[in-house]
Amino acid sequence: MARIGMIGIGLMGEAMARRLLERGHAVTAWNLEPERLDLVVPHGAVAAPSPAAVAAASDIVLSCVLHTEAVRNCLFGPAGVAAAGEACRGKVLVDLSTIPPDAAREAARRLRAEAGMGFVDAPVSGGPPAARAGRLTIMAGGSGEDVATVEPVLRELGANVTRLGEVGAGQAAKMINQAIVGTGFLVMAEALAMAEAAGLDAAAVPAALAGGFADGALLQRIWPLMQARAFDPPLGYARQLQKDLHAVEAFAGGLGLDLPVARSATARLDAYVGQGHAMADSVSVIRLYRPDPG
């Protein structure tokens, strides 16, 4: 069993760390807010004082943090992974965060130059329940050798693990994923608002539409949560989806594309987060259209 480092114990990091512990791996963990470590240390994880300490204690390092700046701080800050020096050489870091492809490529270049460490960008989709069950979808970018090194660990977390190319390819695929997911959340909210306003039994709609062109994971998994107003505990924060949609817009702009549907979804999510719902579950965006029952 590889010794695993886990940098970032947010909703996803916690779920992944606990999955790896249950699968028999030794896990060393760090989080910017150290109180989050209380969610994994009782299950067998060892708390580390810094990302550098995580890297020194691990064979493979995983990072799952909020945004590009957080990735840079964890890798290249004063106590970041690269500060571990020779203890990193020959190891591979897997970044499971969602960041722009060019940021992943720059991180890979610096990590190789400063620490002799490989880098795989492997953003995920599926949410904490899928992470706990080992059923994430994982989109990987990196050299064939580096991806092969970390693939056994990725397959502990994901039921669908695909190498899409060199570093940055995983994040490019995640931009596509988030364009579909981000706009899809708003479409589900608007469709649910129509169903409720029309007096339909909204809870019956996913089964009624199953097998048709409208069917899919969003209809079968997100609609029921929206319809039941099942927002707590959150499975993903609205601020995170907002950040990802802005990243989609920036990525598309860099390709010379204008995506008006994604732009509209981003504006609606901006409005929702602006109402004070940054830390609410993304599915609660139904509140833009319909008040909570009761």
Give residue 291's pLDDT.
83
Q: For residues 188 and 58, state if they share a domain.
A: no
Same domain, 255 and 207: yes
45 and 81, same domain (yes or no): yes
* Position 176 in a domain: yes
Tokens of 38: 């209380």
Q: Is residue 294 part of a domain?
A: no
What is residue 58's three-state secondary structure?
Answer: coil
CATH of the domain at 262: 1.10.1040.10
Residue 257 burial (C-beta neighbours within 10 Å; 0-12, 13-18, 19+): exposed
Query: Are 40 and 123 in the same domain?
Result: yes
| Residues 144 and 102 grouped into a single domain | yes
Of 167, 183, 209, the last residue of a domain is: 167
The answer on 136 and 100 residing in a single domain is: yes
Beta bridge partners of 160: 137
Q: How many other CB atoms sit within 10 Å of the CB of residue 232?
A: 9
Q: Are residues 134 and 81 in the same domain?
A: yes
Q: Do 157 and 185 share a structural domain?
A: no
Entry pTM? 0.93
- Tell me: do 147 and 236 sit in the same domain: no
126 dihedral zone (left: phi>0; alpha: psi -120 to 50; beta) = left
**156 and 80, same structural domain?**
yes
Same domain, 150 and 185: no
Task: Find residue 4's DSSP bridge partners.
Answer: 27, 60
Where are the strands (E) in 24-104, listed by range? 27-30, 46-47, 60-63, 92-95
CATH number of the domain at 107, please.
Answer: 3.40.50.720
Work out how many domains the chain is built from and give that number. Answer: 2
Last-in-domain residue among 167, 193, 219: 167
CA-CA-CA-CA dihedral for 203, 226, 261, 199, to nearest 10: 40
111 touches 93 (CB < 8 A):
yes
pLDDT tens string, the chain, 294 residues long: the values are 899 999 999 999 999 999 999 999 999 999 999 999 999 999 999 999 999 999 999 999 999 999 999 999 999 999 999 999 999 999 999 999 999 999 999 999 999 999 999 999 999 999 999 999 999 999 999 999 999 999 999 999 999 999 999 999 999 999 999 999 999 999 999 999 999 999 999 999 999 999 999 999 999 999 999 999 999 999 899 999 999 999 999 999 999 999 999 999 999 999 999 999 999 999 999 999 998 765
Residues 47 and 147 in one domain: yes
Q: Counting beta carbons within 10 angstroms of the beta carbon of residue 293, is it exposed (0 to 12), middle (13 to 18) or buried (19 or more)?
A: exposed
**Catalytic site positions:** 174
- Among candidate residues 132, 152, 167, the one where a domain is terminated: 167
Across the strands, what pairs with 124? 138
Look up the domain containing 54 and give its range: 4-167
